[in-house]
């Protein structure tokens, strides 16, 4: 998902250190700038997810099995990196997270990397990779809305304007897809919208835990929680024999696990440790553009005039409200 920052990926970030208060001293040179680099790499890696999923569906596989395979191939990376992170904490005499923090990180992982992922996988059964990525891309707006509802963050005029512009673009594309794809597009869009909402909530609740636990260890705990959810779901709904798949399907699962899960999850959480969720979302504009390019080149999806106009409106809306929000903070009016 995924879908960008929010939305909440393994080069290890040097930021896996105990959180320091702002007044504790300046960060190393380039610390914040590397956050933007991590966010960009994570966004580009996430952009491949929808395309690989659509390729896998062409080989006939259900979402539950594909999600379980994705997590099965991803988990060895998280277990090894998590063990190394625990070792480093002990060597440097840094405190490890307590059980409450571990449970919180695992629960957040269930929300952002199991539930959101599963909704996204279901949605891609019914809609194109391009449309899926554009719907997911609106999650930063839900970050703002939920921030106002649950964290007492104000909603300003530029936020309302950005939401209106973006959803005008989605409405245009939705109307065209409804004509060509029928009622399935409603179901698919609903699933992906739920994924965007879940990932927005993940972005809001993950950041405090990342600051306490550190991005590397947090990611391993969160993804372990998500994997547990995916495995339980699979064994409750599918026979174990469903995991016996073709070599091609295994290749797709590995691509999802490493290129579209492990790498971007660490990059995203490392970025969240350095820059704001809003800044992360701005850089996420790379993701839908790359997905559209890949969907046209690899999947053979068509790109109509309405798609181009709608995409431009979505990007403009998200870009506008994020830029205006950053300017308001610089001017001290936030």
**Rounded to 5 degrees, what are φ and ψ at 112?**
-85, -25
DSSP code, position 285: T
Q: What is the pLDDT of residue 141?
A: 75
pLDDT at 333 (0 to 100): 54
DSSP state letter for 299? I
- What's the CA angle centered on 319, arms 181 and 313, to 5 degrees? 35
What is the C-alpha separation between 64 and 67, in angstroms, rounded?
A: 5
Q: What pLDDT sits at residue 325?
A: 62
Residues 6+ apart with CB under 8 A from 215: 13, 15, 16, 266, 269, 270, 272, 273
Q: Kindly list the domain boundaries of the chain, sorted by start residue.
A: 28-331
Q: What is the pLDDT of residue 26?
A: 57
Contacts of 254 (CB under 8 A, 6+ apart): 73
* pLDDT at position 20: 30
* pLDDT attached to residue 255: 94
DSSP assignment letter at 275: S
Instruction: Centre a 10 Å sphere on the Cβ of residue 320 and count the other Cβ atoms it contains.
Output: 17
Return the closest-CA partner of residue 9 out of 216, 213, 229, 282: 216
Between CA 329 and CA 332 the distance in angstroms is 5
Q: Which pLDDT tens digits describe the chain residue by residue (334 residues)?
A: 444 444 333 333 333 323 333 333 456 767 777 888 888 888 888 889 999 999 999 998 999 999 999 999 999 999 999 999 999 989 988 889 999 999 999 999 999 989 999 999 999 999 999 889 888 877 777 877 887 787 776 667 777 777 788 878 888 888 888 777 777 889 999 999 999 999 889 988 888 898 899 888 998 999 999 999 999 999 999 999 999 999 999 999 999 999 888 888 778 777 877 877 666 666 766 778 888 888 989 999 888 888 889 888 888 887 776 676 666 666 655 4
């Amino acid at each position: 998902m995924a879908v960008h920052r929010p939305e909440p990926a393994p080069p290890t970030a040097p930021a896996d250190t105990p959180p320091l208060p702002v007044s504790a001293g300046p960060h190393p040179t380039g610390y914040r700038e590397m956050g933007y680099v991590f966010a960009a790499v994570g966004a580009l890696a996430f952009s491949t997810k929808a395309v690989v999923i659509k390729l896998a569906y062409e080989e006939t596989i259900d979402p539950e099995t594909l999600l379980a395979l994705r997590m099965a191939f991803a988990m060895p990376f998280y277990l090894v990196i998590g063990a190394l992170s625990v070792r480093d904490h002990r060597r440097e005499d840094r405190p490890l997270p307590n059980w409450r923090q571990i449970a919180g990180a695992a629960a957040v992982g269930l929300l952002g990397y199991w539930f959101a992922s599963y909704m996204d996988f279901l949605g891609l059964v019914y809609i194109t990779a391009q449309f899926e990525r554009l719907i997911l891309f609106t999650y930063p707006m839900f970050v703002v809305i939920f921030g106002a509802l649950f964290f007492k963050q104000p909603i300003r005029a530029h936020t309302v304007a950005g939401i209106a512009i973006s959803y005008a673009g989605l409405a245009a594309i939705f109307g065209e897809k409804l004509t060509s794809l029928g009622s399935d597009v409603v179901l698919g869009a609903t699933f992906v919208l739920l994924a965007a909402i879940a990932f927005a909530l993940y972005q809001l609740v993950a950041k405090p835990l990342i600051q306490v636990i550190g991005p590397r260890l947090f990611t391993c705990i969160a993804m372990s929680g998500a994997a547990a959810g995916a495995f339980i779901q699979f064994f409750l709904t599918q026979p174990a024999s469903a995991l016996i798949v073709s070599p091609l399907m295994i290749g797709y699962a590995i691509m999802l696990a490493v290129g579209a899960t492990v790498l971007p999850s660490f990059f995203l959480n490392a970025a969240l440790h350095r820059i704001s969720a809003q800044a992360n979302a701005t850089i996420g504009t790379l993701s839908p553009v790359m997905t559209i390019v890949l969907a046209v080149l690899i999947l053979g999806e068509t790109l109509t005039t309405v798609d181009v106009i709608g995409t431009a409106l979505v990007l403009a809306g998200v870009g506008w409200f994020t830029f205006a929000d950053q300017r308001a903070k610089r001017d001290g009016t936030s």
